[in-house]
Chain A
Amino acid sequence: MGKRVLVVVDDEASLLKVTLLRLNKSGYEAFGAADGQSGLELARQKMPDLIILDVLLPDINGDEVAKILKKDEKLKRIPIILISAEIETLAERARESGVEGYLPKPFEPKELLGMIEKHLSAGA
């Protein structure tokens, strides 16, 4: 079995960089996008096993991107993890957009990896 493919959407370029590094070093094939629109395109193009979405994005918010993905017949089964520093609204946004999980920023790498594993095994 090949490497599991992940898409990470975060406008914080440096954080995206270290997150992708962490994921790639942890045995995944991870691709990054810096805004909602390119995130959607990347998801359609890569058909990943899991998508990580930051909430605050310059064009479309992460939870809105999630809603679009969940309406897409081809993409709706892909598990999504919503991440955000806006801790107060995160749970609400996660519930409304129908994503599989959420994680408040900042998080420990272990927490993210644990959550990814959980949803990948649940989906598989």
Chain B
Amino acid sequence: MKNQDNQPDAAIELRRRAEEIFRGKAAQSPEDLKDLSPDETRRVLHELRVHQIELEMQNEELREAQAELDVSRARYFDLYDLAPVGYFTVSEQGLIQEANLTVCTLLGVVRGELVKRPISQFILKEDQDGYYRRRKQLIESGEPQACELRMVKHDGTAFWAHLDATAAKDPDGAFVSHIAMSDVTGRKKADDALNESEARFRLLFNVGKDFIAVHSIGKDGRVTNFVQVNDAFCKGLGYTREEMLKLSPRDIDAPERLDQLPGIIEKLLKEKHVLFETEHMAKDGRRIPVEISAVLFQTEDGQFALSVARDITERRALESERTKLTNAKSKFTSTVSHELRSPLATIKEATNLVLEGMVGPVTPEQKDILGTAKENVDRLGRLINNVLVYQKMEAGKMGYDLQENDLNELIREAHRSAALFAGNRNADLVMELGKDLPKIKFDKDKIFQVLINLMANAIKYSECGSIVIQTRCVDHEIHTSVRDFGRGIRSEHLEGIFEPFGKVENNQKGGTGLGLAIAKEIVLAHHGRIWAESEMGKGSAFHFTLPI
């Protein structure tokens, strides 16, 4: 009321006079007014009008003040009641004195039910101790306090709330605390899920026997200290976690293995994954052979390698044992075969000398029997040779001389050789060779051996009928087949037919039991395929392919 402020005395005077006049008028009866002089009447009317205007002005100001108050109340409502956090004032005794609407919404109660109620009623029993501790600190220190606890809604459901409290005085000077409260259940749940997933990860990280570690790799391939190591790794090498985190992969690799590290890192950076073997050095100098599988991964902090190392001490021992056994087997086979050869050569030569009549006349009957002996000596010789060849192939020691060759030409050559031992079956060998076959790389002598083995089998195991040798180009291979029209092979016998001594039919045909096994080794060494088909009573077909 500006007028009051600016001219207090004038206004008071004006009011006083107006009241006097009013009282005077009220004392007078209306008919008394008639007694007033016209001048007096004019003066009174003027004063009354001035007073009326004065009142109207005051009224206007009051209306304006009311409007301002309304706006201010609306703002207060907006700011206080509709604030995004719950806000309340709590007395020193812990009673809620005031609360905004957000608190009511969060707790699910009307405001009337909140005021004068102890705040502890809305805190979960288990979390009340925490609340009291904080309150005590707030009162004692006056410092703002923050905590997270579970509040209980009117309907009994609990939620996680974050509380921030400050100490203040009410107008009477009594202690009060202003508390802001927000619902953090969503965040808490996310935190819990994260904690749980982290706990699960930690369990997985630490539960196994494998050594797991993470270290970063700079763009230049520089390897840093470990940033993560699992329990097994620490235990395996005999370090504490703290000690391990001060080491880098370079510090735990065997010294003579360090040279291979740059190459491994290079491969990891290029291919994102690398598998290699090395030896770790334990704290006490023990050596642990390991196989490491490492992957590269990227985070905001740079690129890292996650490596899983497996202790292969046992595997190494087994491998070395197996190598020893394989070598022993090879040596045994080789020695026995060589040792068998010499006496066999003597038997053969002795038989020959008698058969040829070098040491005296031989009767036809003696000749026949000695002839049978000689045939079997030859067969034994072939078997020994095949054992030596197969053993060499199996040990991976057979060398292959791969040259560009014409397969059809080789088949014609093999056909000529086969005709020599085919006897009266000579004319049965038929060739159906594909035209315009490309030249391909193969070891001529070895594939010749395969062809001879297959043809000899076909002659041996079919009493009559054609033997068809076919070649054709299929996709990226040359397909060769040797087909006979003999009695066929039972399906149960077909399965192991390429295994050494897999021959299960009667053994009166003089085979060595290694022909097909050797053929298989040779074809596989050329990255080809070999298989057999047969139908009882209709014949068999042996197929092999060589890649173009």
Q: Are A22 and B353 in contact (CB under 8 A)?
A: yes
- Chain B residues, Cβ within 8 Å of A12: 342, 346
Interface size, A (range): 10 to 19
Task: Check B349–A15 contact: CB distance below 8 A.
Answer: yes
Q: Are A18 and B350 in contact (CB under 8 A)?
A: yes
Chain B interface: which size bin?
A: 10 to 19
Q: Are B358 and A15 in contact (CB under 8 A)?
A: no
Give the Cβ gap from B341 to chain A, nearest Cβ, in Å: 6
Chain A interface (Cβ < 8 Å from any Cβ of B): 12, 14-15, 17-19, 21-22, 25, 85-86, 105-107, 109
Given contacts A21-B359, A85-B338, contact A109 B345 (CB under 8 A): no
- Chain B: CB-nearest residue to A25: B358
A85–B359 Cα distance when bound, in Å, is 27
**Closest chain B CB from A62 CB (angstroms):** 14
B219 CB, min distance to chain A CBs, angstroms? 52
- Check if B171 is an interface residue, CB within 8 A of chain A: no
Instruction: Give 1 or 0 for each of B353-367: 1 = CB within 8 Å of chain A CB.
Output: 100001100000000
Cβ contacts A to B, 29 pairs, < 8 Å:
A12-B342, A12-B346, A14-B343, A14-B350, A15-B342, A15-B346, A15-B349, A17-B346, A18-B350, A18-B353, A21-B353, A21-B358, A22-B349, A22-B352, A22-B353, A22-B358, A25-B358, A25-B359, A85-B342, A86-B338, A105-B341, A105-B342, A106-B342, A106-B344, A106-B345, A106-B348, A106-B381, A107-B345, A109-B352
Q: Shortest distance in angstroms between B99's beta carbon and chain A's nearest beta carbon? A: 101
Minimum CB–CB distance from B456 to chain A (whole Å) comes to 20
Q: Which chain A residue has the least Cβ–Cβ distance from B352?
A: A109
Question: Known interface pairs A21-B353, A21-B358, A109-B352. Does A85 touch B341 (Cβ–Cβ under 8 Å)?
Answer: yes
* Closest chain B residue to A12, Cβ basis: B342
What distance in Å separates the Cβ of B397 from its nearest Cβ neighbour in chain A? 10
Interface string of B18-58 (1 = CB under 8 A from A): 00000000000000000000000000000000000000000
Chain A residues, Cβ within 8 Å of B338 = 85-86
Q: What's the minimum C-beta distance from B543 to chain A, rounded to whole angstroms? A: 32
Residues in chain A near residue B381, CB distance under 8 A: 106
Which residues on B sit within 8 Å (CB–CB) of A14?
Answer: 343, 346, 350
Q: Which chain B residues border A17 with CB–CB below 8 Å?
A: 346
Identity of the chain B residue whose Cβ is nearest the Cβ of A54 in the assembled complex: B342
A25 near B344: Cβ-Cβ < 8 Å: no
Distance between Cα atoms of A106 and B381 in the complex (Å): 9
Closest CB in chain B relative to A14 CB, distance in Å: 4
B345: chain A residues within 8 A (beta carbon): 15, 105-107
Complexed CA–CA distance, A15 and B349 (Å): 8
Whether the pair B342, A109 counts as a contact (CB closer than 8 A) is no
B35-88: which have CB < 8 Å to A?
none
Complex contacts, A25 vs chain B, CB 8 Å: 353, 358-359
